[in-house]
Chain A
Amino acid sequence: MGAVAEYFDNIKNTVTTIFEGMAVTASHFMRKPYTVQYPDRIPVRVQDTLPYRYRGILNVDLEICTGCLACERACPIDCIVIACEKDQKTKILTISQFDIDIIKCMYCGLCSEPCPTGAIHHTSEFEGADFSTESMIRRFVTDPIDAYKPKKGPETDERIAPILNRGMRYVNEFAQGGEAWNGGVVDDGAAAPGADDEEEAAAKQ
Chain B
Amino acid sequence: MQELINNIVAAGTFGKMPETLVAAIVIIVLSAVVFLGIAFPFAGIVSWVERRVWARIQSRVGPNRVGPNGFLQWLADGVKHVCKEDVIPTDSDHQLFKIAPYLVVLAFVLPWAVMPFSSSLILADMNVGILYMTSVTAITVVGVLMAGWASNDKWSLIGGIRSAAQIVSYEIPAGLSIFPVVLMTGTLSMQGIIRAQGWAPQHWFLFANPFTFVAANILYVSALAEGNRTPFDLPEAESELVAGFATEYSGMRYLFFFMAEWGNLFIIGAIITTLFLGGWQFPQVSNNAVVMNILQLITFNVKVLFLVFVSMWIRGTLPRVRIDQLMSLCWKYFVPISFVNMIGTAIWVAIWPEGNSVAGYIMFALGIVLAVIFIQRVMYYLRRSRMELYFRPTI
Contacts and interface: CB of A to CB of B under 8 A. Distances in A.
A25 B57 contact: yes
Given A18-B318, A27-B382, A34 B377 contact: no
B374 A22 contact: yes
A11 B317 CA distance: 18
Interface string B360-395: 000000000000001001111110010111110001
Interface residues of B, number: 28
B390 A23 contact: no
A31 B60 contact: no
A28 B56 contact: yes
Given A22-B374, A26-B378, A33 B316 contact: no
Contacts of B314: 22
Nearest to B394: A33
Interface residues of A, number: 22
Contact of B381 (A10, A11, A27): A27
A30 B317 contact: no
B321 to A, nearest CB: 11
Contacts of B58: 28
B59 A31 contact: yes
Contacts of A28: 56-59
A159 interface: no
B56 A19 contact: no
Nearest to A18: B318
Interface in B277-336: 313-314, 316-318, 332-333
B61 A33 contact: yes
B95 to A, nearest CB: 43
A65 B390 CA distance: 52
Contact of A11 (B55, B333, B388): B333
Contacts of B390: 30-32
B313 A33 contact: no
Given A22-B374, A25-B316, A34 B56 contact: no
A30 B59 contact: no
Contact of B59 (A10, A11, A24, A33): A33
A27 B59 contact: no
A132 interface: no
A21 interface: yes
A7 B333 CA distance: 9
Dominant SS among interface residues on chain B: helix
B60 A20 contact: no
Which residue of A22, A25, A34 has the most chain B CB atoms within 10 A of its CB atom?
A25
Contacts of A32: 59, 387-388, 390, 395
Contacts of A20: 377
Contact of A23 (B59, B377, B387, B391): B377
Contact of A29 (B56, B318, B387): B56
Contacts of A35: 59-61, 395
A77 B378 CA distance: 54
A30 B374 contact: no
A198 B268 CA distance: 62
A26 B389 CA distance: 12
A37 interface: yes
A33 B60 contact: yes
A33 B378 contact: no
Nearest to A23: B377
B231 to A, nearest CB: 10
Contacts of A34: 59-60
Given A23-B381, A35-B395, A29 B57 contact: yes
Contact of B395 (A19, A21, A33): A33
B61 A27 contact: no
A41 B382 CA distance: 27
B206 to A, nearest CB: 16
Interface string B8-45: 00000000000000000000000000000000000000
Contacts of B377: 19-20, 23
Given A20-B377, A21-B317, A37 B61 contact: yes
B56 A33 contact: yes
Contacts of B391: 30
A20 B381 CA distance: 10
Nearest to B55: A33
Contacts of B59: 28, 31-35
Contact of B374 (A10, A19, A29, A31): A19
Contact of A25 (B317, B387, B388, B395): B317
Interface string A116-159: 00000000000000000000000000000000000000000000
- Which 4 A-B residue pairings sit nearest by Cβ, starting from the closest? A23-B377, A32-B390, A27-B381, A35-B61
25 contacts: A7-B332, A18-B317, A18-B318, A20-B377, A21-B317, A21-B318, A22-B374, A23-B377, A23-B378, A23-B380, A23-B381, A25-B316, A27-B378, A27-B379, A27-B381, A28-B57, A28-B59, A30-B389, A31-B382, A31-B385, A33-B60, A33-B61, A33-B395, A35-B61, A37-B395
Given A24-B381, A27-B385, 5 more contacts: A21-B317, A23-B374, A31-B385, A33-B395, A37-B61
